[in-house]
Chains A and B, each alone.
Chain A
Amino acid sequence: MSGMSRIVKTITNITLPLIVIYGLYIILHGHLTPGGGFQGGAVVASGLAMIVVSYGSVWTMKKIKEKKLSTLESIGAISFIGLAFLGLLYGTKFFDNWFANSGGMFGDIVSYGNTAATINSAGVLPLMNIAVGLKVIAGLFAIVLVMAYATSKVKREA
Chain B
Amino acid sequence: MSTDGILTFLLQHSPALIVAVPLLGAFLTPIIGKINDKIRNLFVIIIVLLTSFFVFLLSSNILSNGSIRTYVFGAASANNPVIRIFFQVDGLNAFMIIIGAILSIVAVLFSFRYLKEYTGQDKFYTLVLLMIAGMFGMMLTGDMFNFFVFLEITSIASCALIAFWTSKGESVYAGLKYIVISTIGALFILFAIAILYGQYNALNMGFLAASIQYTFLDKVALVLLISGLAMKAGIVPMHMWMPDAYGRAPISILLVGATQASLYALFRMVFTVYGSHLADILRHIKFRFFVTIEFDITLNGILGVLIIILALFTIIIGVFMALKQSDFKRLIAFAAVAEIGYMLLAIGAAIITISEIDTETGTIILSEVGVNSLKGGLFHIINDALDIGLMFLVAGAIYYVTKETSLNKLGGLARNMKYTTIFFLIGLFAVAGIPPMNGFASKLLIYESTYEINPILSIIAIMCSILLLAMFVKVFHSIFLGPKQEKFEKIREVPKSMLIAMAIISCIIIIFGLFPDIILQNIIEPAANALINNGLYIGGI
Q: Interface with A: B69-77, B228-236, B354-362, which one?
A: B69-77
Residue of A nearest to B71 (CB): A93
Number of residues on chain B facing chain A (CB within 8 A): 16
A contact residues around B30 at 8 Å (CB): 70, 74
Within 8 A of A (CB), among B44-89: 71-76
Residue of B nearest to A96 (CB): B74
The listed residue (B20, B27, B73) touching A77 by CB distance below 8 A is: B27
Whether A93 pairs with B76 at a CB distance below 8 angstroms is yes
Would you call B24 an interface residue if the criterion is a C-beta within 8 Å of the partner chain's C-beta atoms?
Answer: yes
Within 8 A of B (CB), among A77-102: 77-78, 81, 84-85, 87-88, 92-97
Whether B27 pairs with A81 at a CB distance below 8 angstroms is yes
B contact residues around A87 at 8 Å (CB): 74
Known: A93-B74, A96-B75. A74 touches B13 (CB 8 A): no
Whether B27 pairs with A97 at a CB distance below 8 angstroms is no
Whether B73 pairs with A93 at a CB distance below 8 angstroms is yes
Residue of A nearest to B26 (CB): A77
Residue of B nearest to A135 (CB): B27
Give A78 to B27 CA distance when docked, in angstroms.
6
Whether A95 pairs with B73 at a CB distance below 8 angstroms is yes
Residue of A nearest to B12 (CB): A93
Number of A-B contacts defined by CB within 8 Å: 43
Whether B72 pairs with A93 at a CB distance below 8 angstroms is yes
The listed residue (B20, B28, B76) touching A78 by CB distance below 8 A is: B28
Within 8 A of A (CB), among B122-149: none
B contact residues around A93 at 8 Å (CB): 13, 16, 71-76
B contact residues around A78 at 8 Å (CB): 24, 27-28, 31
Chain A nearest CB from B90 CB (Å) reads: 20
Give A97 to B74 CA distance when docked, in angstroms.
7
B contact residues around A70 at 8 Å (CB): 30
Residue of B nearest to A87 (CB): B74
Residue of B nearest to A92 (CB): B76
Give A78 to B28 CA distance when docked, in angstroms.
7
Within 8 A of A (CB), among B96-117: none
The listed residue (A71, A77, A92) touching B75 by CB distance below 8 A is: A92
Give A124 to B76 CA distance when docked, in angstroms.
17
Q: Which secondary structure dominates chain B's binding surface?
A: helix
Whether B76 pairs with A94 at a CB distance below 8 angstroms is no
Whether A95 pairs with B74 at a CB distance below 8 angstroms is yes
Residue of B nearest to A75 (CB): B31
Residue of B nearest to A88 (CB): B13
Q: Which secondary structure dominates chain A's binding surface?
A: helix
Would you call B23 an interface residue if the criterion is a C-beta within 8 Å of the partner chain's C-beta atoms?
Answer: yes
Chain A nearest CB from B137 CB (Å) reads: 13
Within 8 A of A (CB), among B1-45: 13, 16-17, 20, 23-24, 27-28, 30-31
Residue of B nearest to A82 (CB): B24
Whether A74 pairs with B74 at a CB distance below 8 angstroms is no
Chain A nearest CB from B464 CB (Å) reads: 46
Give A77 to B29 CA distance when docked, in angstroms.
12
Known: A81-B20, A84-B20. A94 touches B27 (CB 8 A): no
Chain B nearest CB from A23 CB (Å) reads: 23
Chain B nearest CB from A33 CB (Å) reads: 21
Known: A96-B75, A97-B74. A85 touches B24 (CB 8 A): yes
Residue of A nearest to B72 (CB): A93
Whether A81 pairs with B24 at a CB distance below 8 angstroms is yes
Whether A94 pairs with B75 at a CB distance below 8 angstroms is no
A contact residues around B28 at 8 Å (CB): 74, 78
B contact residues around A85 at 8 Å (CB): 20, 24
Give A58 to B342 CA distance when docked, in angstroms.
55
Give A99 to B30 CA distance when docked, in angstroms.
29
A contact residues around B20 at 8 Å (CB): 81, 84-85, 94
Whether B24 pairs with A94 at a CB distance below 8 angstroms is no
B279-314 vs A: 1/0 string, CB under 8 Å?
A: 000000000000000000000000000000000000
Chain A nearest CB from B223 CB (Å) reads: 32
Give A49 to B72 CA distance when docked, in angstroms.
40
Residue of B nearest to A78 (CB): B27
B contact residues around A77 at 8 Å (CB): 27
Chain A nearest CB from B56 CB (Å) reads: 20
Chain A nearest CB from B125 CB (Å) reads: 14
Give A87 to B74 CA distance when docked, in angstroms.
8
A contact residues around B27 at 8 Å (CB): 74, 77-78, 81
Whether A74 pairs with B75 at a CB distance below 8 angstroms is no
Whether B72 pairs with A74 at a CB distance below 8 angstroms is no
A contact residues around B72 at 8 Å (CB): 93
B contact residues around A74 at 8 Å (CB): 27-28, 30-31
Chain A nearest CB from B163 CB (Å) reads: 15
- Among B24, B27, B75, max chain A CB count under 10 A is at B27
A contact residues around B16 at 8 Å (CB): 88, 93-95
A contact residues around B74 at 8 Å (CB): 87, 93-97
Chain B nearest CB from A54 CB (Å) reads: 30
B514-525 vs A: 1/0 string, CB under 8 Å?
A: 000000000000
Chain A nearest CB from B198 CB (Å) reads: 22
A contact residues around B76 at 8 Å (CB): 92-93
A contact residues around B23 at 8 Å (CB): 81
Give A96 to B76 CA distance when docked, in angstroms.
9
A contact residues around B31 at 8 Å (CB): 71, 74, 78
A contact residues around B17 at 8 Å (CB): 94
Chain B nearest CB from A79 CB (Å) reads: 10
Chain A nearest CB from B459 CB (Å) reads: 52
Give A84 to B23 CA distance when docked, in angstroms.
12
Given contacts A78-B24, A81-B23, A85-B20, 12 further A-B contacts (CB under 8 A): A77-B27, A78-B28, A78-B31, A81-B20, A88-B13, A88-B16, A93-B72, A93-B74, A93-B76, A94-B20, A95-B16, A96-B75
18 contacts across the A-B interface (CB closer than 8 A)? A74-B30, A78-B24, A81-B24, A84-B20, A85-B24, A88-B16, A92-B75, A92-B76, A93-B13, A93-B16, A93-B73, A93-B76, A94-B17, A94-B20, A95-B73, A96-B74, A96-B75, A97-B74
Q: Measuring CB to CB, which residues of chain A are less than 8 angstroms from any residue of chain B? A: 70-71, 74, 77-78, 81, 84-85, 87-88, 92-97
What 9 A-B pairs are tightest by C-beta distance, nearest first?
Answer: A94-B16, A77-B27, A92-B76, A95-B74, A81-B24, A78-B27, A95-B73, A96-B74, A74-B30
